[in-house]
């Protein structure tokens, strides 16, 4: 299985791949061949990945609906998710475990309005699972049929079968072949040349950005609010041309920053961090390796996972965010044994759901492969999944200290996971989350007032996981009464 | 050492521009290799920004007081999942049904759904009332934190209150307190309600008028009866005659709690409105031995002379005063007119029917539909019902609809199915064929909805 690159649709349907784990770098790149450097240092992994007995539970209906790209899709899927609509609905168990509920693949035939039934299948046991396939023309991904099929499976409404029909077997074979192709990458010399050319183009783009920043500060930021979107978009477009996609997103997002009441400070901080990034990129060859990796990641150069860590990972929380033209989703994981923090990120175009390899509130016994920067990681082998209970908590002081340490490694860091135990909501002008000692963190404006958190815990002390950001804490998950995890997003 | 002014200084220079102001050099920063002033400013700003972020100290804030403990148990996991689906959709009848079922079982909702529910209840008061019964202590506690949800406390029957306490409240609350008397209304409330008839707020006056009309043998009722008898009396050949009120009649205006708009002269519409209000609140027994021998005789005589405004006003009186006996004699007359194609708007027919117990409403519909085999006829009988159907009525409708699934559906069948989706006993879903072929037929949709409701009932049983 080839490193970070994820293909959720299978090679049989070009252009319908879901770009996950590797960020789509600029328009038109989503779903094309991955950059070679993403593949060069793939860790040794077999396919299909899980080699150990897997005791993962079958998912609940909630988990299934969380995969829906939007609410209308969920409603549409709920309508189709009736056994009567599925004359054929089957699952094949994995050979020796793996896959949630020991399921390798699901397939079914859904009677639609046409003469031909829609053929839907979901591959559950691969490291990049779930992967979907459906013969319907829907542009939603996963489509309502795939979701409905998963729902029926979650409700134990599918039959077990030893043999998959030909179309399912073909699809699995294609997926397996594609995964192997990705493992044996193309000509290494050519890819090195390509990578070099790209780094140079990025350098040119960043030099232009630096001049632009210089001009802004020389003439003064006071007029920036009246720019409209055009000024930033033009700069962002040049950065897209220079293949510095992530910097382009950051510049484009500046237009929204001016809407906030504290916009001058936010704009200056962003400009300053962009300047820091251009300087760091120029000197990248002289930086220590970890910082160099961070700088490369921050400009949008893809990396491959390097180090694989086996642990039981508490899934602390999930946050969805807009990222340029696509939607992003990140999960924060913390290892029970190693104490390490991992961030799983995935992206999807509008109308599709970013991949959800883990579920909030569970503890996953898994091997997680770390990229060299940003605590970014990917699940490469999942052995078991438990109902986690509240994760180990830290004090506010410890959390801020960890944040400071993380900033030292990555000054561009925007969010860092925090788990507070016995946390209570405070109100003092703004909204806060405090701990028994009385120390408190202010909540992020987007999370204020924290109605869902307040409703779930009722003002009683609870374990709360969230993201600390320069603009305050964003609560993501609360373990309230009975230690039931409630996702707050 | 940290210079807390570093950031504001750098920011104000950045706003004006380095072309016009020198770049500050806050103490305590590492040196920045010089060159362009704008870039120097950005470098220093980066140092200060990251330093400030990394040096962030915790604050302190007073915790909010916790919610009182819950006494009601929470619904099960399956019911909770269904609720989540329901609140994500447009609020519809199934959400109201879910809330009703949960309330009947004395269960409460998973608290994390309260914010969405309270938002929905703020937009639809009928839903709000249902929410008060399932939101638990947590719901009221949460509503106390957000002014947008403060409506919740007004929907709960208040405890006892003294007239002094009542007078001290604002108009909205005065009205809410009066409304809360509804379920426990007794003759002791007459003085307060009489006082409220002269309230500044027309909404408070309206609430008082309605409640007073439900009390037997009140001073106010006697005064209204005297007014009413002056305006409506038996004329020649035993026919009722109606005289519209004079808008200068201040005593009447005061007793029915209205004011003549300035410059309205003797506007006929306003006079008709006054008469409507007078009749609606006048004790209904005023009319027996005045217009006819008994209730049925009164209705017969009034309708025989074509005083339809008066029939409707009497119907409204039965609804306002919740008088079942009068409702029973008025229903054939009022709904009969509706069935003959008269304007549905403003008719009190469905509301009259709604006064009857569900079994009686359904029995009435069955009598009307007896012997007719068409969706059109059955629809005419059930379309005014606003209660769950009895099994007997459900069976009749199910048989008719199941028989029609092969035919192209007409508008009557669609409407009948739409009613059945709401009110048919959900276990009748087994009567329908749900194979995919008739997917677009309203019968198939009905079957799916019934199945959905059936599961919902099971989850909350």
Three-state SS sequence of chain A: CCCCCECCCCCCCCCCCCCECCCCCCCCCCCCCCCHHHCCCCCCCCCCCCCCCCCCCCCCHHHHHCCCCCHHHHHHHHHHCCHHHCCEEEEEECCCCCCHHHEEEEEEEECCCCCCCEEEEEECCCCCCCEEEECCCCCCECCHHHHHHHHHHHCCCCEECCCCCHHHHHHHHHHHHHHHHHHCCCCHHHHHHHHHHHHHHHHHHHHHHHHHHHHHHHHCHHHHHHHCHHHHHHHHHHHHHCCCHHHHHHHHHHHHHCCCCCHHHHHHHHHHHHHHHHHHHHCHHHCCHHHHHHHHHHHCCCCCCCEEEEEEEEEEEEEEEEECCEEEEEEEEEECCCCCEEEEEEEEECCECCCCCCCCCEEEEEEEEECCCCCEEEEEEEEEEEECCCCCCECHHHHHHHHHHHHHHCCCCCCEEEEEEEEEEEEECEEEEECCCCEEEEECHHHCCCHHHHHHHCCCCEEEEEEEECCEEEEEEEEEHHHEEEECC
> Per residue of chain A (489 residues), what is the pLDDT tens digit?
333 333 333 333 333 333 333 333 333 333 333 333 333 333 333 233 333 333 356 777 777 877 888 778 888 888 888 888 888 899 988 876 567 777 889 999 988 766 788 899 999 887 777 889 888 888 788 889 999 999 888 888 888 888 888 899 889 888 888 877 766 655 677 778 888 899 999 999 999 999 999 999 999 998 877 776 678 888 999 998 999 989 998 998 888 878 888 899 999 999 999 999 999 999 999 999 999 999 999 999 988 888 999 999 999 999 998 877 788 899 999 999 999 999 999 888 777 788 888 999 999 999 999 999 999 999 988 888 888 789 999 999 999 999 999 999 999 999 999 999 999 999 988 999 999 889 999 999 999 999 999 999 999 999 999 999 999 999 999 998 767 899 997
- Residues of A within 8 A of B59 (CB-CB) are 432, 439-442
Strand ordering across the sheet containing A377-387: A341-349, A326-335, A307-323, A362-370, A377-387
Nearest residue on chain B to A428, judged by CA atoms? B61
CB contacts under 8 A, B 311-350 vs A, are none
User: What residue has token string 């000692």?
Assistant: A437
Q: What pLDDT is recorded for position A39? A: 33
Give domain limits for chain A: 36-183, 188-299, 307-387, 396-487
Pairwise CA distance, residues B37 & B48, whole Å: 16
CB contact under 8 A, B19 and A428: no
Pairwise CA distance, residues B366 & B395, whole Å: 11
CB contacts under 8 A, A 321-380 vs B, are none
Percentage of chain B modeled with pLDDT above 90: 52
User: Is residue B50 predicted with pLDDT exceeding 90?
Assistant: yes
Cα dihedral sign, B270-B271-B276-B277? positive
Percentage of chain B modeled with pLDDT above 70: 94
Q: What pLDDT is recorded for position A54? A: 35
CB contact under 8 A, A439 and B138: no
Q: How far is CA B41 from CA A220, B25, B436, in A?
A: 11, 9, 69
CB contact under 8 A, B61 and A427: yes
pLDDT digits (tens, 9 = 90+) for B84-112: 888 887 777 899 999 999 999 999 999 99
What is the H or E stretch that residue B34 is in?
A: none
Query: Is B114 or B156 the better-scoring residue by pLDDT?
Result: B114
User: What residue has token string 């009022």?
Assistant: B334
CB contact under 8 A, B62 and A427: yes
Q: What pLDDT is recorded for position B3? A: 58
CB contact under 8 A, B54 and A279: no
- Residues of A within 8 A of B436 (CB-CB) are 84-85, 111-112
User: Is residue B282 predicted with pLDDT exceeding 60?
Assistant: yes
- What does residue A301 show for φ and ψ, rounded to 5 degrees? -80, 130
Judged by a CB distance cut-off of 8 A, whether residue A422 touches chain B is no
What is the H or E stretch that residue B342 is in?
A: none
- Beta strand pairing status for A430-434 and A439-442? antiparallel
Q: Which fold has domain A307-387?
A: OB fold (Dihydrolipoamide Acetyltransferase, E2P) (2.40.50)
- Residues of A within 8 A of B115 (CB-CB) are 451-452, 455
Pairwise CA distance, residues B450 & A143, whole Å: 26
Number of cross-chain residue pairs from A and B with Cβ atoms under 8 Å apart: 179
Pairwise CA distance, residues A19 & A326, whole Å: 10
CB contact under 8 A, A456 and B111: yes
Which of A221, A226, A457, A458 is most worth mutating to test chain B (most B CB atoms within 10 A of its CB)?
A458
* Cross-strand partners of A119: A109
Which of A109, A145, A225, A272 is most worth mutating to test chain B (most B CB atoms within 10 A of its CB)?
A272
State the average pLDDT for chain B: 88
Pairwise CA distance, residues B223 & B252, whole Å: 9
Give the pair of three-digit tokens for residue B144: 């106390």
Q: What pLDDT is recorded for position B151? A: 87
Residue B23 DSSP class: P
Q: What pLDDT is recorded for position A111? A: 81
Pairwise CA distance, residues B88 & B131, whole Å: 16
Q: How far is CA B287 from CA A247, B297, B299, in A?
A: 84, 10, 10
CB contacts under 8 A, B 1-40 vs A, are 7, 10-11, 14-20, 36-39
- What does residue A219 show for φ and ψ, rounded to 5 degrees? -85, -15
pLDDT band at residue B176, thresholds of 50, 70 and 90? confident
Give the pair of three-digit tokens for residue B398: 């199910």
CB contact under 8 A, B64 and A442: no
Pairwise CA distance, residues B296 & B283, whole Å: 16
Which of B16, B29, B108, B112 is most worth mutating to test chain A (most A CB atoms within 10 A of its CB)?
B112
Q: How far is CA B121 from CA B78, B98, B453, B456, in A?
A: 23, 14, 21, 21
Which of B9, B14, B440 is most worth mutating to test chain A (most A CB atoms within 10 A of its CB)?
B14
The answer to whether B108 and B75 have CB atoms below 8 angstroms apart is yes
CB contact under 8 A, B42 and A452: no
Q: What pLDDT is recorded for position B405? A: 67
Query: What ipTM goes with this model?
Result: 0.77
User: What residue has token string 């409700």?
Assistant: A155
pLDDT band at residue B15, thresholds of 50, 70 and 90? very high
Q: What average pLDDT score do residues B213-226 get?
A: 93
CB contact under 8 A, A265 and B141: no
Rg (CA), chain A: 23
Pairwise CA distance, residues A253 & A274, whole Å: 12
Beta-carbon count within 10 A of A249 CB: 20
Q: What pLDDT is recorded for position A220? A: 92
The answer to whether B102 and B79 have CB atoms below 8 angstroms apart is yes
What is the H or E stretch that residue B167 is in?
A: helix B163-167
The answer to whether B267 and B260 have CB atoms below 8 angstroms apart is no
Nearest residue on chain A to B434, judged by CA atoms? A84
CB contact under 8 A, A460 and B58: no
Judged by a CB distance cut-off of 8 A, whether residue B115 touches chain A is yes
Q: Closest by alpha carbon to A116, among B407, B434, B444, B436? A: B436
What b/e string do you get for B91-105 counting C-beta neighbours within 10 Å, with b at 16 or more? beebbbbbbebbbee
CB contacts under 8 A, A 25-54 vs B, are none
Q: How far is B376 from chain A (nearest CA, A)?
A: 29
- Residues of A within 8 A of B141 (CB-CB) are 458-459
pLDDT digits (tens, 9 = 90+) for B414-457: 889 989 999 999 999 888 866 555 556 788 888 888 999 999 99
Q: Which of B15, B39, B84 sits opposite A220 (nearest CB)?
A: B15
């Amino acid at each position: 299985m080839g490193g970070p690159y994820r293909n959720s649709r299978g090679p049989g349907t070009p252009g319908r791949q879901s770009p996950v784990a590797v960020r789509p770098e600029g328009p038109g790149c989503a779903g094309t061949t991955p950059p070679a450097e993403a593949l060069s240092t793939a860790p040794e992994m077999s396919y299909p990945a899980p080699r150990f007995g897997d005791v993962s539970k079958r998912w609940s209906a909630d988990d299934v609906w969380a995969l829906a790209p939007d609410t209308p899709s969920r409603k549409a899927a709920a309508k189709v998710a009736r056994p009567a609509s599925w004359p054929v609905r089957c699952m094949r168990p994995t050979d020796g475990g793996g896959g949630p509920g020991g399921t390798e693949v699901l397939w079914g035939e859904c009677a639609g309005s046409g003469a031909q039934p829609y053929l839907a299948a979901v591959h559950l046991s691969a490291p990049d699972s779930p992967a979907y396939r459906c013969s319907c023309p829907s542009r939603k991904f996963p489509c309502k049929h795939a979701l409905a099929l998963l729902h029926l499976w979650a409700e134990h409404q599918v039959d077990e079968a030893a043999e998959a029909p030909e179309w399912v077997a073909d699809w699995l074979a294609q997926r397996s072949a594609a995964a192997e192709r990705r493992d044996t990458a193309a000509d290494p010399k050519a890819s090195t040349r390509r990578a070099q050319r790209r780094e140079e183009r990025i350098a040119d783009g960043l030099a232009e950005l630096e001049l632009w920043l210089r001009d802004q500060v020389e003439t003064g930021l006071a007029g920036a609010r009246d720019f409209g979107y055009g000024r930033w978009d033009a700069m962002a477009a040049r950065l897209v041309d220079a293949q510095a996609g992530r910097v382009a997103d950051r510049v484009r997002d500046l237009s929204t920053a001016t809407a906030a009441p504290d916009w001058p400070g936010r704009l200056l901080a962003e400009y300053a961090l962009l300047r820091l990034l251009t300087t760091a990129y120029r000197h990248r060859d002289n930086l220590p390796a970890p910082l160099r990796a961070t700088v490369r990641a921050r400009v949008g150069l893809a990396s491959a996972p390097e180090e694989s860590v086996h642990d039981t990972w508490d899934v602390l929380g999930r946050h969805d965010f807009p990222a340029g033209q696509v939607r992003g989703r990140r999960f924060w994981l913390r290892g029970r044994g190693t104490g390490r923090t991992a961030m799983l990120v995935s992206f999807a175009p509008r109308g599709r759901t970013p991949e959800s390899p883990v579920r909030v509130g569970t503890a996953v016994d898994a091997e997680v492969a770390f990229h060299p920067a940003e605590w970014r990681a990917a699940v490469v082998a999942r052995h078991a999944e438990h109902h986690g209970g509240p994760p180990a908590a830290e004090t506010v002081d410890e959390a801020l200290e960890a944040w400071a340490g993380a900033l030292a490694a990555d000054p561009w860091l925007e969010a860092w996971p925090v788990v507070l135990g016995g946390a209570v909501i405070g109100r003092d002008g703004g909204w806060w989350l405090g701990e028994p000692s009385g120390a408190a963190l202010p909540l992020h404006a987007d999370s204020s007032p924290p109605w869902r958190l307040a409703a779930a815990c009722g003002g009683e002390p609870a374990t709360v996981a969230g993201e600390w950001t320069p603009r305050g804490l964003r609560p993501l998950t609360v373990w309230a009464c009975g230690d039931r995890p409630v996702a707050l997003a | 050492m940290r210079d807390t002014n570093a950031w504001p200084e750098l920011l104000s220079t950045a706003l004006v521009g380095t072309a016009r102001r020198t770049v500050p050099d806050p103490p305590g920063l590492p040196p920045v290799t010089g060159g362009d002033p704008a870039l120097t400013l950005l470098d220093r700003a980066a140092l200060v920004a990251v330093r400030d972020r990394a040096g962030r100290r915790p604050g302190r804030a007073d915790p909010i007081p916790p919610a009182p403990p819950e006494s009601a148990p929470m619904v099960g996991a399956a019911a909770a999942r269904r609720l989540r689906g329901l609140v994500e959709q447009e609020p519809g009848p199934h959400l109201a049904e879910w809330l009703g079922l949960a309330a009947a079982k004395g269960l409460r909702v998973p608290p994390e759904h309260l914010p969405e529910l309270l938002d929905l209840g703020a937009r639809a008061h009928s839903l709000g009332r249902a929410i008060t019964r399932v939101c638990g202590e947590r719901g009221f506690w949460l509503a106390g934190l957000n002014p947008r949800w403060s409506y919740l406390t007004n929907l709960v029957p208040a405890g006892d209150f003294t007239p002094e306490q009542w007078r001290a409240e604002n108009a909205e609350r005065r009205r809410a307190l009066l409304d809360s008397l509804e379920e426990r209304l007794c003759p002791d409330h007459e003085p307060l309600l009489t006082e409220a008839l002269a309230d500044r707020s027309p909404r408070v006056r309206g609430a008082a008028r309605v409640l007073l009309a439900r009390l037997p043998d009140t001073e106010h009722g006697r005064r209204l009866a005297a007014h009413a008898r002056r305006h409506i009396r038996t004329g020649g050949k035993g026919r009722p005659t109606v005289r519209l009120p004079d808008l200068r009649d201040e005593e009447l205006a005061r007793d029915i709690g209205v004011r003549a708009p300035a410059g309205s002269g003797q506007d006929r519409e306003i006079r008709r409105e006054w008469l409507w209000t007078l009749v609606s609140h006048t004790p209904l027994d005023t009319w027996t031995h005045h217009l006819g021998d008994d209730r049925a005789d009164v209705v017969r005589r009034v309708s025989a002379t074509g005083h339809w405004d008066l029939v409707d006003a009497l119907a409204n009186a039965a609804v306002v005063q919740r008088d079942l006996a009068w409702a029973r004699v008025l229903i054939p007359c009022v709904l009969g007119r509706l069935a003959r194609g008269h304007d549905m708007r403003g008719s009190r027919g469905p509301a009259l029917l709604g006064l009857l117990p569900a079994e009686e409403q359904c029995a009435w519909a069955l009598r009307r539909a007896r012997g007719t085999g068409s969706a059109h006829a059955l629809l005419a009988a059930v379309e005014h019902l606003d209660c769950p159907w009895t099994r007997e009525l459900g069976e009749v409708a199910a048989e008719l609809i199941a028989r029609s699934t092969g035919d192209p559906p007409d508008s009557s069948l669609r409407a009948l199915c739409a009613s059945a989706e709401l009110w048919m006993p959900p276990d009748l879903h087994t009567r329908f064929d749900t194979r995919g072929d008739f997917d677009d037929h309203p019968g198939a949709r009905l079957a799916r909805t019934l199945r959905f409701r059936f599961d919902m009932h099971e989850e909350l049983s």
